[in-house]
Structure 1
Amino acid sequence: MLHLFDMLSAKLLPIANKIGSQRHLQAIRNGLISILPLTIVGSFFTILLNLPVSGYSDFIAPYLSALDVPFRFTVGLMSVYAAYTIGAYLASSYKLDKVTGGILAMLATLLMIVPVNIAKGTDVTGKAVEAGRYIPLTPLGSQGLFGAIIASLVAVEVYRFCKVHKLEIKMPNGVPPVVGESFAALLPTLLVVLLFWIPRHFFNININAFLTTLISPLKGFLTGNNLLGGIVTQFFICLFWIMGIHGHAVMGPIIRPFWDQAILENAELFQNGMSAFKLPNMFTEQFFQWYAQMGGTGATLALVVLFLFSKSQYLKQLGRLSILPGIFNINEPIIFGAPIVMNPILAIPFVLVPIVNTIIIYVVTAIGWMPRMMMKPPFSIPAPIGALLTTNWNWFACLMVFVCFAVSLAIYYPFFRAFEKTQIAQEGSLEDQAIETK
């Protein structure tokens, strides 16, 4: 088994390193992570608007439009924020001015939106608005996320092309750097405007719609309702961890844009009145966090609990040190402390448990007993609370967390016992050596 891990590591490690260090994927990953505060705060406003308290909806009805604003200006404008952060990170990786990179990326994203002419209307407070051109919010939410990603990458590459080929306006040496950068960005800005404005507004080429059609099969496989997609995702994340490679760091740049779009789409539809049971995307990141990965990748919280009652002094102590981080879904102490990395005994349940939990929750959700996820709380929230929040306070969903935990304990137990025996034998051997030395 160890030979197999060594062979897999030798084959996959170079690929994983290339994926993890590829600058465009890094920019996407870092950019999306940077806007997490907006997503989390916006998600909590979703909860505020949907508290399961008798009479609450009638109470907030007069203020509903105003209370909806924080959600619309956080989650509802996610594509704009993502465009800026992705552009800034990519520009920084090229040692270009990151503010200029972010602005150009945001500009490219906005140029793909067609303004709406409104002759008469009202704002959220009920006041009349003047006739004019307005930017619709919908294309700037989850629907436009992939378009924003592509626009950001292209815009910064245009900026870099101009820098490399010195297609810029040079200012005298005495000019402040900020002013110099502004003038240097004039030509890249013009090129970005022409590149995104002409196709969309003269030839009606909808880049967002084209990208949505192009990636919809992959999105449906990874984050829709395809069980095989959920299993494949869990398998590879766990496999990389077993080989000592951060599974989410490798898989994140590939799958995180799909995860983010899926949960944002669910949140927007739920906010617009769709039942949580009818939301389109089952396999969001939150689905895996609260059920398949309780305590972190591999659902190691169950293993930590078993360690607490171990006859091995080392495993018991490791369990005590790992239990608090594990409750908050941080499991590096046990992954590297047990270790699970390159461990032929614990590697099997580490991969198997998340897959089994994924299948259980998939079945329960597919038959309509449990709603889909509709918000994005912090990953560090303990699983039962996270399940409650993300399913609009559904207690059956919370109960299923404990079902999955019991299943995790049952699967881990025989492997834990086998590993415990080897650990106790090693501890006994060390004690004998210590006695002989004395």
Structure 2
Amino acid sequence: MNKFMGVLENVLLPIADKLNNNRYLSALRDGFMVALPLIIFGSIFVVIANFPFLDKVISESAYAKYQDALGPASAATLSIMGLFVIVGIGYKLTQYYKVDAIYGGVVALASFLILTPQVVEKVSGVIPTASLGAQGMFLGIFTAFISSELYRLFVQKNWTIKMPPGVPDAVSRSFSALIPITLTLTIFLVVRILFSYTPYDTVQNFIYTIIQQPLTHLGSGLPATIIAVLLIQIFWFFGLHGQIIVNSVFDPIWYALNDDNLKAFQAGTELPHVITKQFIDSFLVGMGGSGMTLAVVFLIFLIGKSRQIKELGKLGGPAGIFNVNEPIIFGLPIIMNPLVLIPWLLAPVVVAIVTYIAMSTGLVPRPAGVIVPWTTPVVLNGFLATGNAWQGGVLQAINFVIVAVIWWPFLKILDKNYYEKEKYESNSKAS
């Protein structure tokens, strides 16, 4: 066990440290965080618009009007979420270089729009909504990185207009950004023109065909998902935030898959994917946090004898209900604790496999593309994530039991060790 842990520490820790401190992955992660409140807002109204059995209670015309009235909530957020992510990435990356960040955000957005097709069914001057959502995400990410780097390069080379003293700060900053923005956007315009002479016609078609489709296909499979889940757990075991590190790489893929399911759900057609962003967030993380430790809290109250374990249960229980599990991770502890390494790695993998089989065989509806707030308690979380399907909540309950069964013998051993130690210390003090 010690040799295995040594190998993991020597190989993975340096990689994780580099990923955690990489400016591009940090900007990507923070860019998604900028968009998250808007995405959740749109998802909430998707759930409300498709409330179960409502179409049986009111007339068909009234139900259609009801959905039309709530439709703009998701259309203005979920359908164009790529725009918010792009602005967030551009802002955060430019901020890293200590350059005026707001211009980094807007130049990233403008660069992306220049590269985006502006024709819908032979009508020019119109941007297809699909290009502004998950389908255009990869192009948006690359564009935000490149445009931010170009913009900050021109600024740091002092290719700017200097205004005389006394000019208001807002005016001075605008003129200072003029040349760097002009040069950056001109470069992207030239790229767009050049691609118009290729078989792909636009950069977006090129990115989607060559990069996004293959990666999305890979990310939608169970093997890649198991690898991602294992990496999250291993990083956490060594005290690194596994979700932040792994999600920085996989989020663009998972969100694209999520968007495909959302469109199918809203259209009333078959959902194409099992693995989506919500597959991870609801049926793994949404059961008490990373590692699904709400089941561990339940076991603590059921079998815990040691004072340390019991107190930890009282502390971690209320937070665990809302998927906050730092008290368990740091208090049990899970970090660098060889006694819990096996259930910590095994439970999420087993649950991922069970969930995938249940959804791929049709026993449980696939994730509907609705982004459920991460603090939503278990069972309700699964119900909402599957488009208000009761089977989603039942599956979460079954997964909860699976995690508890896997953890039971290991927590029993850990609790016994703590109990014996407390008993020994108590007897030592008494004598």
**1:149 maps to which of 141, 148, 171:** 141
Q: How does 1:34-45 map to 2 (within 5 A)?
A: 34-45=34-45
Shift of 1:138: 1.9
- The change in CA–CA distance for 1:215 and 1:115 in structure 2 (over 3 A counts) is closer
Provide the TM-score with structure 2 as the length reference. Answer: 0.92
Aligned equivalents of 1:327, 1:154: Cα separation in 2: 41
Pair 1:218-2:223 in alignment: no
- CA offsets 1:24-65 (integer angstroms, 9 cap, x no match): 111110011111111011111211221221144712213544
Separation in 2, partners of 1:266, 1:69: 18
Alpha-carbon distance in structure 1 between the residues aligned to 2:243 and 2:165 = 45
1:397 aligns with 392
| C-alpha deviation, 1:201, in angstroms | 4.7
- Two-structure CA RMSD over aligned residues (Å): 2.0
Range with greater deviation from structure 2 (48-57 or 20-29)? 48-57
Offset of 1:3 from its aligned partner?
4.7
What is the rounded CA distance, in whole Å, between the counterparts of 1:380 and 1:305 in structure 2?
18
Match of 2:13 in 1: 13
Q: Is 1:306–2:306 an aligned residue pair?
A: no
In structure 2, what is the equivalent of residue 375 of structure 1? 370
Q: Which residue of 2 aligns with 1:207?
A: 203
Structure 2 CA distance, aligned partners of 1:435 and 1:256? Answer: 56
Deviation at 1:406, TM superposition (A): 1.1
1:139-183 superposed Cα distances (whole Å, 9 cap, x missing partner): 111111111111111111111110222222222233333222211
**1:258-282 deviation line (CA, Å, top 9, x unaligned):** 22222223223322332xxx32232
Whether 1:67 and 2:70 are equivalent positions in the alignment is yes
Aligned match of 2:222 in 221, 227, 234?
227
Q: Does 1:139 align with 2:131?
A: yes
Change (3 A) 1:45 1:395: same
Matching residue of 1:421: 416
Answer yes or no: is 1:346 the counterpart of 2:340.
yes
| 1:112/1:206 contact within 8 Å kept | yes
Is the contact made by 1:80 and 1:110 (CA closer than 8 Å) also made in structure 2? no
The equivalent position to 2:404 in structure 1, one of 400, 409, 417, is 409
AA in 2 matched with 1:248? Q
CA drift of 1:432 comes to 2.4
Query: CA offsets, 1:285-320, max 9 Å, x none?
Result: 321233234111111111111111311121011111
Which secondary structure does the structure 1 equivalent of 2:20 belong to?
A: helix
Judge which range, 4-13 or 142-151, deviates more: 4-13
Structure 2 contact 340–410 (Cα < 8 Å) conserved: yes
State the alpha-carbon separation in 1 of the partners of residues 394 and 428 from structure 2: 49
With the length of structure 1 as denominator, give the TM-score of the two structures: 0.91
Secondary structure of 1:311 counterpart: coil
Read off the aligned partner of 1:313 and give its amino acid letter.
R
Structure 1 pair 385/236, CA: closer, same or farther in 2 (3 Å)? same
Separation (CA, whole Å) in 2 of partners of 1:89 and 1:323: 35
Shift of 1:244: 1.2
Residue 349 of structure 1 contacts residue 412 of structure 1 at CA under 8 Å; is this kept in 2? yes
Q: Output the CA distance in 1 between the equivalents of 2:82 and 2:216.
A: 17
Query: Residue 192 of structure 1: CA displacement?
Result: 2.6
Q: Is the 8 A contact 1:292 1:355 kept in 2?
A: no
Paired residue secondary structure (1:134):
coil
Q: How far apart are 1:91 and its partner, in Å?
A: 0.7
Report the 3-state secondary structure (helix = DSSP H, G, I; strand = E; otherwise coil) of the residue aligned with 1:68: helix
Please report how far the alpha carbon of residue 117 of structure 1 lies from its aligned counterpart in structure 2 after TM superposition: 7.0
**Is the CA contact (8 Å cut-off) linking 2:282 and 2:385 kept in structure 1?**
no
1:356 aligns to 2:350 (yes or no): yes
Partner SS for 1:35: helix
Partner of 1:127: none
Q: State whether residues 138 and 212 of structure 2, in contact with CA within 8 Å, keep that contact through their aligned partners in structure 1.
A: no
CA deviation string 1:49-90 (max 9, x = no partner): 212211447122135444311211111111111111111111
Query: Aligned in 2, Cα 1:189/1:44: closer, same or farther, shift over 3 Å?
Result: same
- The answer on whether the counterparts of 1:83 and 1:149 sit within 8 Å (CA) in structure 2 is yes
Alignment of 1:9-408 (within 5 A): 9-53=9-53, 54-56=56-58, 58=60, 59-116=62-119, 133-201=125-193, 203-204=195-196, 205-213=201-209, 214-222=211-219, 224=220, 226-274=221-269, 278-293=270-285, 294-309=287-302, 310-373=304-367, 374-408=369-403
- The whole-number CA distance in structure 2 between the counterparts of 1:190 and 1:272 is 41
Matches of 1:286 and 1:118, distance apart in 2: 32
CA distance in 2, matches of 1:407, 1:336: 23
Pairs aligned (count): 420
The farther-off stretch of 415-424 and 5-14 is 5-14
Structure 2 unaligned segments of length 5 or more: list them: none
| Aligned AA (1:364) | A
Q: Following TM superposition, by how much is the alpha carbon of 1:202 offset from its aligned partner in structure 2, in angstroms?
A: 5.9
Counting aligned pairs with the same residue, the percent is 34
**Residues 346 and 24 (structure 1 numbering): CA distance in 2 closer, same or farther, change over 3 Å?**
same
Alpha-carbon distance in structure 2 between the residues aligned to 1:25 and 1:145: 15
Distance in 2 (CA, whole Å) between partners of 1:132 and 1:228 is: 42
Distance 1:104 1:263 in 2: 27
Structure 2 counterpart of 1:297, one-letter code: S
Query: For the residues of structure 2 that align with 1:356 and 1:367, how far apart are their CA atoms?
Result: 17
Tell me how far apart the structure 2 counterparts of residues 44 and 339 of structure 1 sit (CA, whole Å). Answer: 35
Amino acid at match of 1:299: M
CA deviation after TM superposition for structure 1 residue 118, in Å: 8.5
Task: Report the CA distance between 1:257 and its aligned residue.
Answer: 1.9
CA contact (8 A) 1:5 1:243 kept: no
SS at match of 2:403: helix
